[in-house]
Amino acid sequence: MTALVETQAPAAAPLAPPRAGMLRTLLSRPMGAIGVAMLLVALVVAVAAPFLAPYDPYESIRVTVFDIYQKPSAAHLLGTDDGGHDVLSALIYGARVSLLVGFSAAFISFLIGGLVGIVAGYRGGRTGAALMRFTDFFLVVPDLALQIVIVAIAGPSLLNIILVIGALGWTTSARLVRSQTLSVRERKFVLRARAIGAGDLHILRRHILPQVLPLMIANMVLVVSLAILSESTLAFIGLGDPTLISWGQMLNFAFDRGAVSAGAWWALVPPGLAIVWVVLGTTLLGTALEDVLNPRLKRHHLERERFPRRRAPAVDPQRPMELPQGAATAPLLSVRDLVVEFESPSGPMRAVDGVSFDLRRGETIGLVGESGSGKTTTVLAMLRLLPPGGRVVSGQVLFDGDDLLALGPAELRAVRWSRLSIVFQGAMNALNPVRTVGDQVAEAIRTHEPGIGRRAAAVRGRELLERVGIPGRRGRDYPHTYSGGMRQRAMIALALACDPDVIIADEPTTALDVMIQAQILELLARLSAELGMATIMVTHDLGIVGERCDRVLVMYGGIIAEEAEAGRLYAHPQHPYTQALLASFPDVAHPDRRLVGIAGVPPRLDNMPPGCPFAPRCPYVFDRCLAERPPAFPLTHGRRASCFLVEPGHERAAAAAVTAEPADA
Amino acid sequence: MPDAGRAPVLEVQDLRKQFRGQRSLVDVLRRRPARHVTAVDGVSFDIRPGEVLALVGESGCGKTTTGNLLLGLLPATAGKVILDGRHVGSLSNRDLLRLRRNVQMIFQDPYESLNPRMRVRDIVAEPLRVHRVGGTTAEIDGRVREALEQAGLKPADAYQHRLPFELSGGQRQRVVIAAALALRPSLLVADEPVSMLDVSIRADILNLLRSLADEHGISVLMITHDLSTVAAYADRIAVMYLGRIVEIGDARTVLADPQHPYTRALRSVVPVPDPSARRRPVILAGETPDPSRIPSGCRFHPRCPVAFEACPRVDPPLYELGEGHRAACLLVEPEYRAAAERERLQED
Amino acid sequence: MQGRGAYFGSKIGWALVTIFVVITFNFILFRVLPGDPAKAGGHDPRLNPATQAALTKRFGLDKPVLLNLDGGNPFDTQYFAYLGALARGDLGDSYNFRDQSVGDLLGDALVNTLWLVLPAQVLSIVAGTLLGLLAAWRRGTALDVGALTFSLFMWSLPTFFLAILLLFAGASLFDLPTAGGSTIGAVYGSFWDELLDRGRHLLMPTLAFTLVLLGEYMLIMRSSVIDVFSEDYILTAKAKGLTTFRIIRDHALRNAMLPMVTLIAINLGFTVSGAIQVESVFSWPGLGALTVDAVSTRDYPVLQGAFLLLAVCVVIANLAAELIYGWLDPRVTEG
């Protein structure tokens, strides 16, 4: 759902929870545990009714006027009803009918709905469409009215009631199962099974059913609650099986025979609450089951920001960076010792661990790294746009003298977009699908220039679109009518709307074709040169860095492993990770070079090595790397690297294959 | 190295695929004709044992559809596919299934292409079960283990009982490869096999595919958009544009001296990590046209930087340039080149 | 906007097809099911033999059911007679209310039902939307948990039971009337007196209905808002420097309403069943009460007519919801 969050979401998130823990997960949630408990009580009552009930409600008794609607007493804990029967006993026996009808009818619905849904979803095409039309028809027919008509005509026997409720209650399951089957059918592992040569039966049995069945069962539990409600409603209207005692029937008799005017609440309230008990139990269980099987995102972007807001800077903003920068101009943007953590069940996970860098006016720097390196988290933290659960622990983001991390909400809003804007990866989701593109560009202008009129903002928006190569009239169209490349252009137009000083481009060309990628990168480079903007390019592609960046920051495991001017980084990489990354990166200009992968995998946030994050994969690792985190060692030409091998006077520096850069390269 | 003398594993002749456009109720009422999308428009190539052929192009060029046609995931509209010397279209269903063991697929997304509820062992054994190969449990066990180790998951026992979520992306892609190897195929179709993997992992997977070709003689059809991986791993390249192969030949030759202007443009926009090697890229304007409206003549002419008068009229065939290098551009023909030269001089 | 026209056209077309299917289904239902109500009606002991014969003739029970294949006019059948009568707006006569046509009965009842259903729908949609929005925004707080618990409880409460409780409470605590749409035989001194009397009758049924619908609307709105709030375009809006209020108003609300519109459409069938229950508890003279009365008195022409009217109302309301959806979401109308 959220492509943006993916890159920094805890890497531990598994594809699917292992089945063994499902029951435990279910019971560990209050909803699931309460639901199960409530249903168990109802089940025990229904099964043990003859032992629990003080009287037999089916036994015919001789009644006098004094026996009916007796107040609760020791003999009749819940009083007596309109027929002089013990309410409590009837209540206990009523559980049998409710549960029997509920589960049997739901099972019928489950079978019909499951079959229709799987066939419609798996076959697709005309068969699927016809089945869905059929389902839609049943969906618009008011089911209680139809149930009433059929039961009235066919006669209110228990079997008829079960059949009617079951045969009319399958539509929602069919829709759910169909959409599930459709999405599973399109998944790659099903496609792969088909490519292997597997037949439909094999695919259904081995791949589709195991994925769909759990949700079907969760849905069936919810259908049970609906069936119980339907049964009680039918009985209340007078269409219950006259030979059986059910809660709806009890309410029907009591309501029709003067319980309200007699003030006999005990004949009305207990059966009603009994229905609520069972329905609530099944609803809780069903909802909890769905939630366990298909966990939904529970966090969102508008949650309160978790940030220790403090004006007093932890780091002296005037303190110069201890690395020689070699440039005379003061930086436009300085990030100092930025630390970001994410919440997780096992405690906070550090995604960014002390990142510092400068950005000067008009310059393009590349923030390069693999997934989980913390590059996207770094830029989102700078703008205070961290996904929910993330929080800046410490550090500063100095922009033109202000610490962005210490600004109040109104001050922050004023800086956002007008001075620092961002081009997100995957522009499909970054543009609002129900508003036109032109409208969204104009909105940004009007937000930061409140005086500008609606018309003038629209004209400016048009000009911006033209500027990025989109015909102005397309501004009236919605994002979904744009191609991927066009959307990214629109996103750039949006980012330029308020003439910012800094543009952050987060993987701006991922998922685009190479030709479109070249167009977008060229556009960004041309516009930032024309408008004198500084650019931070976040990417995993060393080629983009080589082509488009002045300076490069290589990130790994939440730290900056190496910083250097682009040409020097390529010619003389200092950090073993940079060296290995370059050795593994294919280069169309050098087809004869054999590529070497880096053994092992990038570290996971929940399992970060205590020393250097690259130590487990480093060919030059020694004991100190495992125990101690290397600081950034300043090198010549404004470079730095976080590796003990480059530490001045390190005895192994010469022995290791670290290429010493000629002092005057 | 590919054995040029031996018969090709796969021969594709004039393969075509048209998708019928869906007509809505309103379209039918208004008698609007259905739009046909020609995804693959007469593609021919062959692959020799142990050869890695790369099918390169942008999205929508028909490279993935070609792969799906070879695997029998889609029926072809026209053309011949000859696999191991047998014409696929002429076979009975049973023989077809038997033949399909020889072609296996590796998908782009290792995170999605493994059933999250199946263990590694069952995933790798699945093709054997589907094709009823292997017979006894012990035999299947042996072949699963062999496939896992061939795919670089050693020792096999450490992985057999794991679930996909317990594996890293690279390991998952190796499981996919192992499942493909279980049937001992002669051809692997790999659709963007590394594009979803971390940069540092990619080289290992590509090296594995290369060694399968070199050491086990398995042919690989690599479908990709990325010319830089092709450069390092493919023997030959076929560049596709709008359903056609526009240039095909030895990988090094094509990349060093591309003859089709589309290949030249594509080659020039591949980012190179060496900043000192920056050159001005040939950036084509616009996007690939809609495959339901293929331009007349040379389909590339509306975007071609060197198009001349004849291009909208003449649909160029693949001209032979020597040593199997062919390009579908009029400018490689001396006559047309002279005509284009004259036109250019007149304009000046 | 060609796509939009095509979308609306196809939706309207399908609604017409569905209505036709409902009509046919309704015809078959009352003839095929055991008990054969048409014949039962013909043999209703309350009618004298002459009327019975007239009724049999009127229903054309001697004619073939669907198509006349024995020669003569193939459309001279019960089914086409039924269609013809429907086209003239003739739904037959009630058994019970001797002098009234089913059409008149249903017309009056429909107006009463709308008086009950429309305010309750509007109230529950507004309240459910706001509550859901608030709960989602302040996710995980006491407000959220409280709203969630309340909604689940309301959802589990059978409508008729809630209606009984409110009836009980209204009568005993506020001395509200327990039955009907107005006080029988009342002579109103002024328009305001009449309004007050009707309002007193309407209060508890409307409240019952609102509460029943509210729970589900709130649940759906809450999860829909959480989904939208975690979309990337919300992050874009935040990055643009919009205030939270403007993000919600301009970027979240419309998108979050989309699942609500679908739910409201799907819920219309549920609305009907709610109306049946609320009306029968409060003896509200609407379609629902009429249906229940028709069941208990075996008044089949009324039952058949009521079912048809309910189904057609749901189809039309469903169509309205789909058109609104198409208007709200450009993605479904412009391919």
**Percent of chain A topping pLDDT 90:** 42
Interval A180-224: pLDDT, tens: 898 888 888 998 898 888 888 999 999 999 888 888 888 898 899
What CA–CA distance (Å, rounded) separates A216 from C78? 43
Cβ pair B112:A591 closer than 8 A: no
Contact A153, C33 (CB under 8 A): yes
Residue A13 sits at the chain C interface (C-beta within 8 Å): no
| Lowest-confidence pick of A116-120, A129-133, A577-581 | A129-133
CA distance B201 to chain A (A): 6
Cβ pair C231:A1 closer than 8 A: yes
Residue A192 has what DSSP assignment?
A: H
Amino acid at site C8: F
Rg of chain A taking only CA atoms, in angstroms: 34
What CA–CA distance (Å, rounded) separates B225 from B216? 26
Q: What's the pLDDT score for residue C46?
A: 57
Interval A363-372: pLDDT, tens: 999 999 988 8
What crossing angle do the helices spanning A87-123 and A209-234 adopt, rounded to 10°?
Answer: 140
Which of B66, B88, B200, B254 has the highest number of chain A CBs within 10 A, making it the mutation to test binding with A?
A: B200
Interval B249-307: pLDDT, tens: 999 999 999 999 999 999 999 999 999 888 888 889 888 888 888 899 999 999 999 99
Strands B78-83 and B52-56: unpaired
All residues of chain C having their beta carbon less than 8 Å from the beta carbon of residue A478 are 330-331, 334
Contact A170, A178 (CB under 8 A): no
**Dihedral of CA A229/A234/A238/A240: which sign?**
negative
Q: Which two tokens stand for residue B265?
A: 């443009």
Q: What's the pLDDT score for residue C60?
A: 60
Q: Which chains touch B (3 or more CB pairs under 8 A)?
A: A, C
CA-closest candidate to residue C102, choices C112, C114, C89, C115: C89
Q: What's the pLDDT score for residue A51?
A: 86
Strands A633-634 and A349-359: unpaired
Q: What's the pLDDT score for residue A299?
A: 77
Residue A517 sits at the chain B interface (C-beta within 8 Å): yes
Interval A234-271: pLDDT, tens: 999 888 888 888 898 888 888 888 777 777 788 888 99
B296 C-beta neighbours (distance < 10 Å), count: 12
Which helix (H) or strand (E) is B248 found in, with range? strand B244-250
pLDDT at B112 over 90: no
Mark which residues 56-115 of A lie under 8 Å from C by CB.
Answer: none
Mean pLDDT of A66-70: 74
pLDDT at C213 over 70: yes
All residues of chain A having their beta carbon less than 8 Å from the beta carbon of residue C254 are 434
Cβ pair A233:C155 closer than 8 A: no
Cβ pair C241:A430 closer than 8 A: no
Q: What's the pLDDT score for residue C54?
A: 66
Residue A462 sits at the chain C interface (C-beta within 8 Å): no
Q: Which two tokens stand for residue B82?
A: 């000859």
**CB-facing half-sphere around the CA of A306: CA atoms within 13 A:** 15
Q: What is the band of A665 on the pLDDT scale with cuts at 50, 70, 90?
A: very low
Residue A426 sits at the chain C interface (C-beta within 8 Å): yes
| Lowest-confidence pick of A150-154, A476-480, A543-547 | A150-154
Mean pLDDT of C286-306: 83
Residue A202 sits at the chain B interface (C-beta within 8 Å): yes
Q: What's the pLDDT score for residue A8?
A: 32
Q: How far from chain centre, in Å, is Cα A366?
A: 28
Written in H, E and C, the secondary structure of chain C is CHHHHHHHHHHHHHHHHHHHHHHHHHHHHHHHCCCCHHHHHHCCCCCCHHHHHHHHHHHCCCCCCCCCCCCCCCCCCHHHHHHHHHHCCCCCECCCCCCCEHHHHHHHHHHHHHHHHHHHHHHHHHHHHHHHHHHHHCCCCHHHHHHHHHHHHHHHCCHHHHHHHHHHHHHHHCCCCCCCCCCCCCCCCCHHHHHHHHHHHHHHHHHHHHHHHHHHHHHHHHHHHHHHHCCHHHHHHHHCCCCHHHHHHHHHHHHHHHHHHHHHHHHHHHHHHHHHHHHHHHCCCCHHHHHHHHHHCCCHHHHHHHHHHHHHHHHHHHHHHHHHHHHHCHHHHCC
Mean pLDDT of A403-424: 91
What CA–CA distance (Å, rounded) separates B54 from A123? 34
Residue A519 sits at the chain B interface (C-beta within 8 Å): yes
Q: What's the pLDDT score for residue B25?
A: 58
Written in H, E and C, the secondary structure of A353-403 is EEEEEEECCCCEEEEECCCCCCHHHHHHHHCCCCCCCEEEEEEEEEECCEE
What CA–CA distance (Å, rounded) separates C134 from C130? 6
Cβ pair A1:C243 closer than 8 A: no
Mark which residues 217-276 of A lie under 8 Å from B by CB.
Answer: none
Interval A287-310: pLDDT, tens: 888 888 877 656 788 887 765 545
Mean pLDDT of A362-383: 92
Mean pLDDT (chain A, rounded): 84
Contact A205, A147 (CB under 8 A): no
**CB-facing half-sphere around the CA of B203: CA atoms within 13 A:** 20
CA distance C334 to chain B (A): 13
CA distance A534 to chain C (A): 18
Q: How many CB pairs under 8 A join A and B?
A: 201
Strands B326-327 and B319-320: antiparallel
Check residue C36 and give left, alpha or beta (phi > 0: left; psi -120 to 50: alpha).
left
All residues of chain C having their beta carbon less than 8 Å from the beta carbon of residue B26 are 6, 9-10
Cβ pair A140:C277 closer than 8 A: no
Amino acid at site B174: R
Q: What's the pLDDT score for residue C269?
A: 67
Which residues, in sequence order, are CB contacts of A160 under 8 Å at separation 6+?
A: A150, A151, A154
Residue C307 sits at the chain A interface (C-beta within 8 Å): yes
Q: What's the pLDDT score for residue C258?
A: 86
Cβ pair C330:A422 closer than 8 A: no
- For residue A422, the chain C residue with the least C-alpha distance is C239
CA-closest candidate to residue A370, choices A617, A14, A639: A617
All residues of chain C having their beta carbon less than 8 Å from the beta carbon of residue A268 are 164, 168
What crossing angle do the helices spanning C253-282 and C300-328 adopt, rounded to 10°?
Answer: 170
**Dihedral of CA A198/A202/A206/A210: which sign?**
positive
Residue A375 sits at the chain B interface (C-beta within 8 Å): no
Mean pLDDT (chain B, rounded): 88
Contact A438, A476 (CB under 8 A): yes
Q: Which two tokens stand for residue A565?
A: 């001017």
What CA–CA distance (Å, rounded) separates A567 from A545? 10
Cβ pair B277:A589 closer than 8 A: yes
Mark which residues 65-94 of A lie under 8 Å from B by CB.
Answer: none
CA distance B201 to chain C (A): 29
What CA–CA distance (Å, rounded) separates A551 from A539? 13
- Write b or e for each residue in B216-233: b if 16 or more Cβ atoms lie within 10 A of its Cβ, otherwise e: ebbbbbbbbbbbbbbbbb
Measure CB to CB from residue B271 to each of A188, A543, A571 and give the nearest one: A543
Q: How many CB pairs under 8 A join A and C?
A: 239
Q: State how far the alpha carbon of B104 is from the alpha carbons of A185, B8, B45, B205, in Å.
A: 20, 17, 18, 16
Measure CB to CB from residue A16 to each of B116, B170, B272 and give the nearest one: B116
Q: What's the pLDDT score for residue C161?
A: 92
Q: Which two tokens stand for residue A277?
A: 């008990």
Alpha helices (H) in A77-154, listed in sequence order: 87-123, 125-140, 143-154
Mark which residues 473-502 of A lie under 8 Å from B by CB.
Answer: 483, 485
**Percent of chain C topping pLDDT 70:** 80
Cβ pair B24:C10 closer than 8 A: yes
- For residue B27, the chain C residue with the least C-alpha distance is C6
Q: What's the pLDDT score for residue C239?
A: 92
- Write b or e for each residue in B18-28: b if 16 or more Cβ atoms lie within 10 A of its Cβ, otherwise e: bbeeeeeebee
The more confidently predicted of residues A65 and B51 is B51
- For residue A431, the chain C residue with the least C-alpha distance is C233
Which of A143, A149, A428, A474 has the highest number of chain C CBs within 10 A, making it the mutation to test binding with C?
A: A149
Residue B127 sits at the chain A interface (C-beta within 8 Å): yes
Cβ pair A515:B104 closer than 8 A: no
What CA–CA distance (Å, rounded) separates C61 from C42? 9
All residues of chain A having their beta carbon less than 8 Å from the beta carbon of residue C135 are none
**CB-facing half-sphere around the CA of A388: CA atoms within 13 A:** 19
All residues of chain C having their beta carbon less than 8 Å from the beta carbon of residue A251 are 160-161, 164
- For residue C2, the chain B residue with the least C-alpha distance is B26
CA distance A369 to chain C (A): 22
Mean pLDDT of B182-205: 90
Q: What is the ipTM of this complex?
A: 0.90
| Lowest-confidence pick of A562-571, B52-61, C192-201 | C192-201
Q: Which two tokens stand for residue B271?
A: 């980012």
Rg of chain B taking only CA atoms, in angstroms: 22
Interval A141-177: pLDDT, tens: 778 888 888 888 788 888 989 999 998 888 888 988 9
**Percent of chain A topping pLDDT 70:** 89
Let me know how long chain B is. 348
pLDDT at C174 over 90: no
| Lowest-confidence pick of A40-44, A98-102, B228-232, C234-238 | B228-232
Amino acid at site A411: E
Q: How far from chain centre, in Å, is Cα A583?
A: 36
Max CA separation in chain A (angstroms): 115
Cβ pair A140:C139 closer than 8 A: no
